[in-house]
Amino acid sequence: MPDPEPDPTYRLRWDELPLLLSLPRAAVLLGISRSAGYRLAESGELPTKRMGGRVYVITARLQAMLEQDELGKAAA
* Sequence-ordered alpha helix ranges (H) in the chain: 23-30, 34-43, 59-75
pLDDT in tens, the chain (76 residues): 565 666 666 666 888 899 999 999 999 989 999 999 999 999 999 999 999 999 999 999 999 998 887 766 666 5
Q: For the chain, give every domain's residue range.
A: 17-75
Please, are residues 70 and 31 in contact by the beta-carbon 8 Å criterion? Answer: no
- The DSSP bridge partners found for residue 49 are 56
CA–CA gap between residue 70 and residue 41 (Å, rounded): 20
Residue 44 has a pLDDT of: 94
